[in-house]
Structure 1
Amino acid sequence: MIQVCSQCGTRWNVRDRQRSWCPRCGGSLLAPSAPQPQWGPAPRPAASPTGQHTPPQLAPGYRWIAVRPGAPPHQGRRRRVLGPTPRYRVIPSWGLHQYFDPDAQEQKPPQGETEAGTARLMLVAAMVVLGVAAFAHVIRYVLLLINRSVLLHPVIAVGGLLIGLLASLLAIVFVILTVVALVRWLIVRRAARYAEHGEVDPRSTRTIWWCSLLPGVNVVMVPVFVWELAALEGRLSYLRRPIVVWWVAWALSAVVAVWSMVSTVYVTFFVDTPQNIADNTVTVIVGYLLALATFLLTAKVFTGFVGSGTAAQQSVRRWVVVGPESAEPAAERVEAETADVSQNREDSAESAVPVESQGQNPAA
């Protein structure tokens, strides 16, 4: 017996057992009907008395269903009508909130940045004061030249002497303060860098202070401390030349400074002739200019460590993904690269040798 699905129209031969649901679509099956054998031609529908053909009558339990060819149409979901876009006259306060830890806000900046900022400020101040001192002694030298032919007013003469003396005192004070600030920065910087490597600075704080403040000893030892710091931070490749030039300029400035002090004492207490005073003034001017050049080179070396920004640039560590082939020891990689280079050289040398001898026919 045959049952037809009322939903998809599939005819199912259920044999002698009646079923209720379509195995394909799950629709309900119509009443069963026995299949009729089709041995001969199908009988023609009987004509009506009026001569018009009537549609064939369906067996009981069947009905006509109009089905669209192909796959059933997709029934899209109707979009729900949304309301108007919300608008706010003020910024909503129900969003994400950012909470600040008061302890973190009150936390002081790192000591290294503070020391670097102080050292940078003192370097600028010392260079300005040294320039002013050199200019004051130039004015004093000009007054000495004028005094050779014209008698100066006592106020002008005393004023020129006092200006040079005050400028010298200010220069000495600012130079000492700048040296102290730079030594403090050097100690903190060395301690931090050795701590990053899990070590302790082999130079004690007391040793660095004594070697940096003792005249003569500081000219020899301070550049050594700076050289060690540059090597530890990996900056020696581009700071080697600035450190050497700064070292030479500092040594020359120290020699001229000692000579100017000796000359000043000699002129003040022993021979105070106008020519000796003028020569001493020229020596002091040259000493201040060399000191200014030394501090300029010091600032260049200092900038090589901390940068030219407002805050000290700390060393940056970048993490990259390393493949399995990069995990082999460095020595093996170097040996492999050396072997590849030598092999490439041998190949290039062999490829340079001609295959056939010159003057011989290749087809012979």
Structure 2
Amino acid sequence: MIQVCSACGTRWNVRDRRRAWCPRCNGTLLAPSTPDTGGDWTGGTAPSQTQQANPTTERGLGTPPSARLLPPGYRWIAVRPGAPPPRRGTPRPLGPTPRYSVIPRWGLIDHFDTVGQQREVPRSGPSPAMVRTTLIATMAILGAAALIHLVRYGLLILNRTVLLNPWVAGAATWLGIAVSVVAVFMVVASAVVLTNWLIARRAAAFAYRGHEDSRPVWVLRWGSLVPLVNLLWAPTFVIELAGVEDRLSWLRRPITVWWLLWVLSTVVSIFAFATSFATDAQGIADNTVTTIIAYLLALAALLLTLRVFRGFERQPVERRTKRWVMVPVDADGNAHSRTEATPDTAAVESEGQNPAA
């Protein structure tokens, strides 16, 4: 069995096993044929010597169909006249792989146009660091005042059986008074700084939304600095600010706890001041205990104030706290929540059992 290579024209005797590739040039072998003894086929590119001599025979023109018949496994191939085309040159080397010491800045750049995020928000008032420092200093003074009054109460208990040195008694009395005066000034300073911060924060929040604050500055100062009046209006102003900044959902609880503790601290402080004019030993001791509790409650109220302040300063005014989620859309293009359930498909849970996760 003979198979001829379609590339180099070499005839291969493959015996009784058909092959697909030429062992010489790795070309495709044509269909197998039986050996032909009528002519000299040694791997040439023309079918026969007679056809090589006659150009018209090579083209298959002017010859009868019987003369154009080829042995099995051969076919006529049309070639371009003239010299063969020049060989393709070897590609030039590309050189080393480019390396960059820094990230290249050329290329495509994505521009995202965000609505409402390019507006410059004017900021004024005290800085967050100043507010934080003032609150921490005030808490330190309140803690020191509570500690001094606790020592004074211990000296009052000791004085029931032991006569105290006049210098020790005087130092305990006047040191407590001095620390109390400093604590009052620090509380007033903290109130002023927090009021200025609240006014500046509200102005920036409303300006970012494109309109002015609904309350004038004098109302904010009057409602935040006047004693007893600020118990109602100052938390109201803070709640309004949280609503404007879309943070009321996770700041409502800290604000409520701070509000209640502030009211309780004010009530205890008023009671401590009213009982500070006692002259008997038991009245002085009771007033000392009340003063210690008032200082501790004021310290706790300032701690919650700092927590609420950090809740606002955790994110700037320009950064929204909304979280966008994917909502399925029906065929008509109407969006509906995944939690909505019709009466037919709603899961009914019996009382006293938790719904399935």
Aligned-pair distance for 1:81?
7.6
- Structure 1 distance, partners of 2:271, 2:94, is 95
4+ residue segments displaced more than 6 Å = 36-41
Partner of 1:294: 301
Listed as ranges, the matches of 1:72-221 within 5 Å are 74-79=88-93, 111=123, 114-221=126-233
Q: Structure 1 unaligned segments of length 5 or more: list them.
A: 1-32, 42-61, 97-108, 350-364
Listed as ranges, the matches of 1:342-353 within 5 Å are 342=342, 345=345
- Structure 2 distance, partners of 1:282, 1:207, is 37
Q: Secondary structure at the match of 2:317?
A: coil
Which shifted more, 287-296 or 232-241?
232-241
Q: Give the root-mean-square deviation of aligned CA atoms.
A: 4.1
- Structure 2 distance, partners of 1:145, 1:181, is 40
Aligned-pair distance for 1:278?
0.9
- Structure 2 distance, partners of 1:75, 1:287, is 96
Partner of 1:242: 254
Aligned-pair distance for 1:277?
1.1
Aligned-pair distance for 1:110?
6.5
Partner of 1:279: 286
Per-residue CA deviations over 1:290-314 (Å, capped at 9, x if unaligned) read 101111111111111112xxxx633
Per-residue CA deviations over 1:149-207 (Å, capped at 9, x if unaligned) read 11111111111112211211111111111111100110011111111222211111011
The letter of the residue matching 2:139 is M
Structure in which a larger fraction of residues adopt helix: 1
- Structure 1 distance, partners of 2:203, 2:122, is 13
Q: Is the 8 A contact 1:115 1:184 kept in 2?
A: no
The letter of the residue matching 1:282 is V
Q: Is the 8 A contact 2:208 2:317 kept in 1?
A: no
Indicate yes or no: 2:229 matched with 1:223: no
Indicate yes or no: 2:317 matched with 1:314: yes
Q: Is the 8 A contact 2:124 2:200 kept in 1?
A: yes
Partner of 1:303: 310
**Please, what TM-score do these two structures have when normalized by structure 1?**
0.60
Aligned-pair distance for 1:35?
5.3
Q: Residues 113, 222 of structure 1: CA spacing in aligned structure 2 closer, same or farther, 3 A cutoff?
A: closer
The letter of the residue matching 1:250 is W
- Structure 1 distance, partners of 2:208, 2:214, is 14
- Structure 2 distance, partners of 1:247, 1:113, is 23
- Structure 1 distance, partners of 2:95, 2:190, is 74
Q: Is the 8 A contact 1:306 1:313 kept in 2?
A: yes
Aligned length, in residue pairs: 256
- Structure 2 distance, partners of 1:315, 1:274, is 58
**Please, what TM-score do these two structures have when normalized by structure 2?**
0.61
Aligned-pair distance for 1:77?
2.3
Per-residue CA deviations over 1:66-85 (Å, capped at 9, x if unaligned) read x7xxx986532233888xx9
Q: Structure 2 unaligned segments of length 5 or more: list them.
A: 1-53, 68-80, 106-120, 349-357
